[in-house]
Amino acid sequence: MSRPSYLLSSEELLGVFNLTHTATAIHVTEDAIIQEANDAMLTIWGKDRSVIGKSLEDALPELKGQPFVDMFKRVWNEGLIISGKDTAAQLEINGEIQTFYFDFEYRAVKDKSDKVICILHTAIDVTERVLKREAMELAAERQAALDREQALNEELATTNEALSVTNKELQKAQHRLHILNTELEDRVAERVKALSESEERFRTMAEGTDIYIAVGDETGNAIYFNKPWMNLTGRSMSDLLAFGWADLIHPEDRDRFVGIYLSALESKIAFAGEFRILSEKGDYRWLLASGPPRLNTDGTFAGYISSCVDITERKLAELERQNLTALVDASSEFISLANLNHEMTYANPIALKKLGWDSVANRTILDCVYPQDRDFARKALSNLVEYGNFRQEIRYWNEKTQKPFWIEWNGISIKDPISNEFIALATVGPDVTERKSHQEELQNINEEMAVANEELAATNEELAATNEELAQAHNNLVQYIRKLSDSEEKLLQAIETGKMGTWSVEPQTFKVTISGFVRELLGLEDEHDISLKQIFKAIHKDYHELIVNAMEDALNHHTSSDTEYQINNLKTGEEKWIRATGKVFLNEAGNVTEYSGMFMDITERKLDELRKNDFIGMVSHELKTPLTAINGFVQVLQRKSRLEADEYSSNALEKTHIQIRKMTAMINGFLNVSRLESGKLMIDKTSFRLDELLQETVDETFISPSTHEIILALSCEVVVYADRDKIGNVISNLLSNAHKYSSNGSDIRINCEIKGNEVIVSVKDQGIGISGEDAKKLFDRYYRVQSNHTISGFGIGLYLSAEIIQRHNGKIWVESDGEMGSAFYFSLPIN
């Protein structure tokens, strides 16, 4: 369609656009590329038309660091309109940076689809207006200053006249002030005397109490500690005043309590808190501290008078109660408490879940019991006061599902330790529903077996009669065999009473067959076929790799498997620990026909192990605290003996320091075992040079004089992706063992080489060697070489090393040639 002749062309429009006196430009993209700018805008910029097509920042480099380029990006990206009045901008005009002022607008122009297509930039130079306004304001300020100066001069003249009169009055006032100063000095002397007597009474009171009292000034520095503080800490007054009490606070409490104190000091308010402090005896005591502000006579803040009382026994009892509560809450047994009226006061989480209750509010102990068994329960409860306890098997029920379940009901009367009166009833009981069910099934099987035996006896009598009777006997025998088959099935189900089940995997199709106990434990549907994928859904993801490796090893190398791992019931979400043992069965041709085994619930044993590991970890952690203090004292004594040139003390303290390092290494070993078996030993992988780690470990391991020569043959500069600290521990342990098990003057050789996609590190000694029998168990937990018990150790170093290497998908092994020494190797994947 042709354009009407009266419409302007694009060139004519641009010509008109250039005639407007309003500076205007059109920009595109978030970089504000200049598509067009009229002469007025080019004049403001001080540029010619060569800037067309450039970004705003390239055209006007002086705008870098100013906000305008970022404004353009926001307008383009967000479709905004940004404007400003009297806005200052630094522009380069004729090679000189000058300040101009503009009224400007950046407007996003959009198409019909609401998409930004360009930015319309208009600007009006208002520099002259702004400068005139600023000049007028400056002139007004100067005039106001002149007016104020005139007024001040007049006021000064008046003041001088008044000052003459004031000087005369001042002379009279000075005479009166002299008299008042004399009286004031007498009063101050009396006040100082009274304060001195008051301070003496305070010190007498503070020294005669068992409470730990301290006084601090307004800056937070201590100025006084009473004698109980010195008796508790074994430190002098001067040590305590030099902030010597803060370093005695338990490391876990120090930052928290000191923070409370400093925060209160900053606000000049009272503070209170609990903390543990190291006593002179070497144990930690719990203190409850409070400190009200101390005020001067004029009401200003003067510091604190703080008091502390020993609450150690109360805290230990509280911690013991918390631990007991946690154990009860975590128990898988039914645990509850009731008062003398049999009203429920507590039930642990598993009890509430089994009963289908939300809480024990307005519940009695009889509400737990299946309605048909409540008369029996009342009789058992009535005998409790007389006999003190009872043990019965009774049915409880789930109120929501209306289904009963069997409980081994153990009732225990709780008596007041002082009056010996019966005050409460405790019930503890495991769920024995499964056992009761299997007992009934076994009883039915036994009855059927008895009937079958009678039928067999009758059949034997009839065998002598006729062939027809023989045929009948044969039919009876077939029926009996069928019953025996059913009995065998039920006996297999009875195995599950012992929390065991069976599983089987067909090696060609990987079809899985599992018993009912295993289905129930994993939360799988009874009527559906089971796949490995479904089973893996119930297994904790941290153990998937372990199980796959065990299965592949069994099927490929025909070895037995024995693994322990955590599962989550797919229906209830309940966590369990299980042990799965497996064996591969072969046909005459040596091919795998079946991979099957047992599936056992080991939750109780595993939880006991985890609690034991937590206990070991807690004890090891607590042992490190006094050991750290001992190490510090030894270092102080070492410095002192060196200064005094006491060679005997220096040698003795050096040996003590070596023993402390050995004990610290053993405690760290126990901590790592505890973390490993509790699933808390984390692998934090980073990239690092293995040869550099080997050199560092050698340097750190033999800081003290050694009688062995370490030969480090670095033949590989390789970067590995692994936990640097954990791999360093492995190398350090192998070096320590080589040092312990080889004679003085012998060599220890360390080598590193690359083979394929892995790097192999070896530590070779010229020691006593390792027998083949010991080598098989060397990496087991707590195992030590049987031929030598004179060398200290607990047998955890190599166990931890093996676990660390396995978690890096590497291998660790030992080679020994009789009495020629041993060589320990470990490998790590390079990629």
Which pLDDT does position 705 carry in this prediction? 47
Q: How far is CA 780 from CA 162, 605, 670, 775, 809, in A?
A: 102, 20, 14, 10, 18
Structure tokens at 14: 């641009």
Report for 31-40, 382-391, 600-609, 619-628: range of highest mean pLDDT = 31-40
Give the pLDDT confidence score for residue 479 in this predicted structure: 60
Distance (Å, whole) CA 40 – CA 63: 19
Q: What pLDDT is attached to residue 491? A: 47
Please give the pLDDT value at position 473: 44
418 phi, psi to nearest 5 deg: -95, -55
pLDDT band at 145 (very low <50, low <70, confident <90, very high): confident
Return the top range by mean pLDDT from 251-265, 616-630, 681-695.
251-265
Q: Is 419 exposed, middle or buried (0-12, 13-18, 19+ CB in 10 A)?
A: exposed
Question: Mean pLDDT over all residues of the chain?
Answer: 79
- Sign of the dihedral defined by the CA atoms of residues 216, 222, 224, 226, in that order: positive
Q: What is the pLDDT of residue 742?
A: 82
- pLDDT (mean) for 615-633: 65
Taking the C-alpha atoms of residue 39 and residue 680, their distance in angstroms, rounded to an integer, is: 73
Confidence of residue 750 (pLDDT cuts 50, 70, 90): very high
CA distance 308 to 214: 9
Q: Got the DSSP string for 113-180? A: TS-EEEEEEEEEE-HHHHHHHHHHHHHHHHHHHHHHHHHHHHHHHHHHHHHHHHHHHHHHHHHHHHHH
Cα 148 from chain centroid? 68
Length of the chain in residues, anyone? 831
pLDDT single digits (tens) 626-644: 777 677 777 778 787 878 8
Number of Cβ within 10 Å of residue 343's Cβ equals: 16
Q: How far is CA 377 from CA 366, 384, 394, 414, 441, in A?
A: 7, 11, 8, 18, 26
Query: How far is the CA of 820 from the CAs of 144, 314, 764, in angstroms?
Result: 104, 61, 10
User: What is the distance of C-alpha 665 from the center of its chain?
Assistant: 24
In this prediction, residue 564 carries a pLDDT of: 84
**In angstroms, rounded to a whole number, what is the distance separating the alpha carbons of residues 156 and 154?**
5
3-state secondary structure of 419: coil
Give the integer Cα–Cα distance in Å for 9 and 78. 32
Taking phi over 0 as left and psi of -120 to 50 as alpha, with beta for the rest, 431 belongs to: beta
Q: Is the confidence at residue 79, as pLDDT, over 60? A: yes
User: Rounded distance, CA 352 to CA 333, Å?
Assistant: 11
Q: In this structure, are strands 747-755 and 709-714 parallel, antiparallel, or unpaired?
A: parallel
Using alpha carbons, select from 427, 285, 283 the residue that is nearest to residue 354.
Answer: 427
Strand, helix or coil at 358? coil
Q: Which of 10-24, 99-113, 322-336, 710-724 reaches the highest mean pLDDT?
A: 99-113
Q: Look at the block and give the residue holding tokens 């870098």.
A: 64
Is the pTM higher than 0.85? The answer reads no
Cα angle 151, 152, 158; round to 5: 95
- Tokens for 149? 């100066």
Question: Can you tell me the distance from the alpha carbon of 564 to that of 577, in angstroms, rounded to the nearest whole number?
Answer: 7
Q: Percent of the chain having pLDDT more than 90?
A: 10
H/E run at residue 561? strand 561-568
Contact 739, 802 (CB under 8 A): no
Residue 133 has pLDDT above 50, yes or no: yes
Residue with tokens 């080991």: 602
Are 809 and 738 in contact, with CB atoms under 8 Å apart? no
Q: What is the DSSP code (8-state) at residue 4?
A: P
Q: Which residue shows structure tokens 């590991």?
A: 613
Number of neighbours of residue 631 by Cβ within 10 angstroms: 17
| Concatenated DSSP letters of 701-744 | HT-S--SSEEEEEE----EEEE-HHHHHHHHHHHHHHHHHTS-T
- Dihedral angle of Cα 380, 383, 387, 389, to the nearest 10 degrees: 30
Q: How many CA atoms lie within 13 Å of 56's alpha carbon, on the beta-carbon side?
A: 25
DSSP 55: B
- Which pLDDT value is given to residue 828? 93
**Which range, 191-195, 282-286, 330-334, 469-473, is most confident?**
282-286
Contact 559, 584 (CB under 8 A): yes
Q: Are 561 and 554 in contact (CB under 8 A)?
A: yes
* Per-residue pLDDT at 678: 54
* Pairwise pLDDT comparison (710 vs 819), residue with the higher score: 710
DSSP 8-23: PPHHHHHHHHHH-SSE
Nearest alpha carbon to residue 285 among 233, 247, 235, 244: 233
pLDDT of residue 467: 52
465-491 per-position pLDDT tens digit: 545 554 554 465 456 445 544 544 554
Residue 243 pLDDT > 70: no
- Which of 371, 413, 406, 372 minimizes the C-alpha distance to 392? 406
CB 273 within 8 A of CB 289: yes
Q: How many Å separate Cα 485 from the centre of its chain?
A: 54
Q: How far apart are CA 662 and CA 654, in angstroms?
A: 13
Q: With bands split at pLDDT 50, 70 and 90, how would you rate the model's confidence at 709?
A: confident
Taking 50 as the threshold, does the pLDDT of residue 792 lie above it? no
Residue 634 confidence (pLDDT): 74
Residue 225 contacts residue 304 (beta carbons within 8 Å): no
Where is 394: in which H helix or E strand?
Answer: strand 389-397
How many whole angstroms separate alpha carbon 226 and alpha carbon 213?
Answer: 6
User: Residue 704: its pLDDT value, please?
Assistant: 47
The pLDDT > 70 percentage for the chain reads 77
Cα separation, 191 vs 473, in Å, equals 123
Cβ burial, residue 799 (10 Å; 0-12/13-18/19+): buried
What is the rounded (10 degree) CA torsion for 192, 198, 201, 207? -90
Q: Above 70 in pLDDT, residue 602?
A: yes
Distant-in-sequence, close-in-space partners of 280: CB < 8 Å, separation ≥ 6: 231, 232, 233, 234
Instruction: Determine the 3-state secondary structure of 793 from DSSP.
Output: coil
**Which of these ranges, 314-318, 484-488, 498-502, has the smallest mean pLDDT?**
484-488
Closest CA to 553 of 201, 186, 292, 806: 806
Q: Report in angstroms the alpha-carbon separations of 223 from 131, 210, 212, 226, 271.
A: 63, 19, 14, 10, 18
Compute the chain's Rg from CA coordinates: 45
- Please name the residues in contact with 611: beta carbons below 8 A apart, sequence gap of 6 or more: none
Residue type, 770: I
